Amino acid sequence: STIVLVFEAPQRWEWSVKPGEKVRVGQALGD
Amino acid sequence: VAHAWRTTETKWYPLPLAVGALLLVGLAWKHEYQRRRREAEVTLSGDGEVLKLQGPWQVHVLGALPLRQLSRLWGWLNSHELPLWLRPYGYGFYAWLFGVNLEEMDPADLSAYRSLGEFFYRGLKDGARPIAGTELVSPSDGTVVHLGEIQANRRIEQIKGVTYSLDALLGRGQSSTPVLSPSLPPREGTQDSAFAEINGIPYSLISLMGSPSSKPPNAPHRPATPIKAQDQGDRAIHQPVGEKVHHSVQVAQEMGAQAVTSLGHTVREGNSLFYIVVYLGPGDYHRFHSPASWVVEKRRHFSGELFSVNPWLVSRLPNLFVLNERVALLGKWRHGFFSFIPVGATNVGSINISFDTDLRTNAHSAPPVGTFVEASYSSASALLGGWPAVKGEEMGGFALG
């Protein structure tokens, strides 16, 4: 199963993760 | 021959089980093959692209299988109650095979789970997943497959050089069926200032909405992360309370073809659309939580296939996420448009949304591929115009079959 998020954000948006990285519920994805 | 035909006695014998099973599989395959032929020319993509199954031979072999039937059979098999003595060994083996952390689940006793399906949909102990204070957090355990910014051509990159249409993923235009109004449980008071930034509603009013004394009847017995009032006073509020968000069509046109037509919104000046794809492995915790505080306005249920979504197939089957069955939850957050799309797979064809008990996925008689059924959540909150999902709150999950 997979979850896709599509959202609007300011162009200065920065990701905290990168492809291939393991994540857990509640972990920061971006800000 | 004519004489033999008239005089030979006919004797009937029961077919062996294996032959009967083969006949049934053959009939299912024929039915599936005919369905696929009928749907082969369906235009799924918002930009008029006709989507067909393409890829290496393994993809075509998978495409010939009755995946939806297999998924439901898998779910049925795993809903059977296991004997008490077998449970610790069976689930222990599963945990060893797929790397499940048994120490964080709730309840911790393996024999408490009656079936593999129940074990798969296990909950977590309180505090097992702390929620970060940043704006967007992971909705689930898993692996980040891809992320990035959506360009003006409105296509999302599946793998390097292979893209699929944003409009096909979220739906474009109106549903061909009437818009449903599911019966939603009363909403508890939500004390999150992020909602004040979404609709420009005074914070004091938001904290009072819903029925503070009532608990949703279908709410999970104990969410992995308790819903608490969040102090977000350190955030910069970008607009004065009470002022409506101004979506300028002209600005969007100047930015390029970035309009989010699925909700009729346009992207605000200085904003862009971003995406991230998280893959949940067989050993991962399979419930999902709200990645931000946002308002869910609509649900679009897309019928489709149930291909596996493991990274191997993602890299070989273009348009995989558009071909598969999925539920698109559409709404808004403090920066504008927000959507959350759980995509089903062969082993986990059932997508549950905690507050929407009317939703039925992986049904036997699914509508044609490429169509969607739309439901409006506007009755959940007159103030916000949808279901307020609090950051970190459990929203649903994937179940076997």
- Please report how many Cα atoms fall inside a 13 Å half-sphere around the Cα of residue B68, on the Cβ side: 21
pLDDT at B322 over 70: yes
Asked whether the beta carbons of residue A7 and residue B342 sit closer than 8 angstroms, the reply is no
In this complex, is the C-beta atom of A7 within 8 Å of any C-beta atom belonging to chain B?
yes
B214-231, pLDDT tens digit by residue? 333 333 333 333 333 333
Asked whether the beta carbons of residue A1 and residue B341 sit closer than 8 angstroms, the reply is no
Lowest-confidence pick of B83-87, B170-174, B285-289: B170-174
B198-217, pLDDT tens digit by residue? 877 777 766 655 433 333 33
Asked whether the beta carbons of residue A8 and residue B335 sit closer than 8 angstroms, the reply is yes
Q: How far is the alpha carbon of B23 from chain A, nearest alpha carbon, in Å?
A: 31
- Option in A3, A10, A19 nearest B335 (CB): A10
Asked whether the beta carbons of residue A1 and residue B260 sit closer than 8 angstroms, the reply is no
Higher pLDDT, B145 or B235: B145
Nearest one of B327, B11, B124 to A25, comparing CA atoms: B124
Nearest one of B136, B12, B94 to B281, comparing CA atoms: B94
pLDDT at B176 over 90: no
Answer whether B54's CB lies under 8 Å from B316's CB.
no
Asked whether the beta carbons of residue B134 and residue A31 sit closer than 8 angstroms, the reply is yes
Find the mean pLDDT for residues B89-113: 94
In this complex, is the C-beta atom of A14 within 8 Å of any C-beta atom belonging to chain B?
no
B244-285, pLDDT tens digit by residue? 333 333 333 333 345 555 566 788 889 999 999 999 999 999
pLDDT of residue B157: 83
pLDDT of residue B341: 96
Nearest residue on chain A to B139, judged by CA atoms? A25
- Nearest 5 degrees, angle CA B257-CA B174-CA B156? 40
Q: Burial level of A12, CB count in 10 A (0-12/13-18/19+)? A: exposed
CA distance B123 to B224: 6
For residue B323, the SS3 value is: helix
Find the mean pLDDT for residues A8-18: 95
Nearest one of B255, B257, B247, B53 to B172, comparing CA atoms: B257
Tell me how far apart the terminal alpha carbons of chain B are, to the nearest angstrom: 52
CA distance B25 to B318: 28
Answer whether B286's CB lies under 8 Å from B98's CB.
no
In this complex, is the C-beta atom of A1 within 8 Å of any C-beta atom belonging to chain B?
yes
Give how far Cα A9 sits from Cα of B77, B274, B395, Å: 43, 7, 22
Asked whether the beta carbons of residue A19 and residue B145 sit closer than 8 angstroms, the reply is yes
Answer whether B377's CB lies under 8 Å from B182's CB.
yes
Q: Considering only CB atoms, which chain B residues are within 8 Å of A31?
A: 134-136
CA distance B31 to B23: 12
